[in-house]
Amino acid sequence: MAALLRGLRVGRALRGFGSVPKTSSPQCNGLRRGFHCAALRLQEDKDKSIPVPPSSAASSTTTYHEHYQAHPSKNNTATHMQEAPAPEAGAKEAPQPNTSYADQSGEQGEEYETEEQLQAHILNAALDFVQLHGWTLEAISAGAETLGLSAASSGMFQNGAGDLVLHFIAQCNAQLTEQMAEQHNQVQLGQAEPKKTAEFLRDAVETRLRMLTPYMDNWPQAMSILLLPHNIPDSLKHLSTLVDDIWYYAGDRSTDLNWYTKRAALTGIYNTTELVMIQDSSEDFQDTWNFLENRIQDIVNTAGAAKQAASTGEAVAQGLLGAAVTLKNLTGINQRR
C-alpha cells in the first residue's frame, strides 16, 4: 500500500519533469523490473523499512543522490518503487541479478527512465557552458549543476569531453536528418518541388554547418577531440551516417561503385568546408558558403566530364571498329575465296 502511494508520487514527479519524454521500452523495462521486484518483495520485507524519501519534483534530486550512492550496495532495494505501474502485465520473469550498470531503469524510475537519458540531459545542459569552459569536463560539471546534480556527476562520463562532442554531433545529425525527412515528405505529398541534387547537397551541408555557429569559437578544440584515437571510430561512424543520409535524401539510389565515390566526394566537401569555416571571419560566413558552392560545382563538373569521357570513349571505340572492318573489306581479308 505504501509502495503504491510512492508509485503514484513517482508518476507525479515524472510528469513534473516534463521535458524528459517517456519512451515505451524503458517503461517495459520498468514493468519487468516491477515483476522482478514483486517476486523479490517477500524476501526483501526488511528492506522496505529503508527510508526512501517520497519523490516530489523538489526533492527528486536528493532521491537521485540516494540512488547514486545506494546503487553499488543495494541493487534490488529500490526496484520495488516500480511496483505500482507493474501489476497489469502478465509476464513472470525469473529473478536476474541487476548488475548491469546500463540497465538501471528500475532504480532510476523516479527521475529518468534510463541512464542514457540522464546522460543526454546532462550533456544538453552542458552545451550552454561550452562558450565559457570549452569542450571539457568543467562544462559537463557546470551542466550537471544546473540540473541540481553534484558536479562530480561528470565522473559518469568515461570519455569526458569526447562524450560531450560526440553527443553534440549526434544531435546535430539527427536534427538534419529530421529536416531532410520532413522535406522529403513534403515532396512526396506534392507540396514542394524536389530540389536539384547540387542545390540539395549545398543546402544540407550549409544547414548542418550552421548548427556549429554558436560554438564556433571552441570548435577547433572539438575537432581535435574528435581526432583522438579512441574517438576516431565513433566520429567516423557519425560522419559516414551523415553523408549516407544526405545522399539518400538527395535521391541517390545507386548500387554500384558510384555509391562509394559519391559518399567519398561529399565527405571531402564536408570536411574541407568545415575547416574553411573555422578560420572564416567574413560576414555570416559568406566565404564558407562560396567555398562550398564552388566545391559542389567541381563535383558536378567532374561527374559531367566523366560521363562525357565515357560516351566519347564509346564513340571512339566504335569508330575504330568500323575503321578496322572497312580496312578488312578493302584488303579483301573478309572475302572467302
Q: Which residues bind another protein (CB under 8 A)?
A: 244, 248, 253-257, 259-260
Q: Which is nearer to another protein, 256 or 283 (CB)?
A: 256
Q: Which is nearer to another protein, 68 or 248 (CB)?
A: 248
Q: Which is nearer to another protein, 129 or 249 (CB)?
A: 249
Q: How far is the CB of 253 from another protein (least distance, A)?
A: 4
CA 228 to chain centroid, in Å, comes to: 19
Ranges of beta strands (E only) in 27-141 are none
Q: Which is nearer to another protein, 224 or 258 (CB)?
A: 258
- The answer to whether the CB of 243 falls within 8 A of the CB of 259 is no
- The answer to whether the CB of 10 falls within 8 A of the CB of 81 is yes
Cell readout for 103 is 540497465
Q: How far is the CB of 208 from another protein (least distance, A)?
A: 19
Cell readout for 289 is 558558403
Q: How far is the CB of 154 from another protein (least distance, A)?
A: 37
Q: How far is the CB of 68 from another protein (least distance, A)?
A: 39
Radius of gyration over every alpha carbon of the chain, rounded to an integer in angstroms: 29
- The answer to whether the CB of 244 falls within 8 A of the CB of 259 is no
Question: Alpha helix locations (H) across 137-278?
Answer: 137-146, 161-188, 197-210, 219-226, 232-250, 258-278
Q: Which is nearer to another protein, 180 or 276 (CB)?
A: 180
Question: What amino acid occupies position 69?
Answer: Q
Q: How far is the CB of 191 from another protein (least distance, A)?
A: 23
Q: Which is nearer to another protein, 255 or 279 (CB)?
A: 255
Q: How far is the CB of 255 from another protein (least distance, A)?
A: 5
- The answer to whether the CB of 88 falls within 8 A of the CB of 114 is no
Q: How far is CA 129 from CA 22, 118, 134, 144, 209, in A?
A: 26, 18, 7, 10, 20
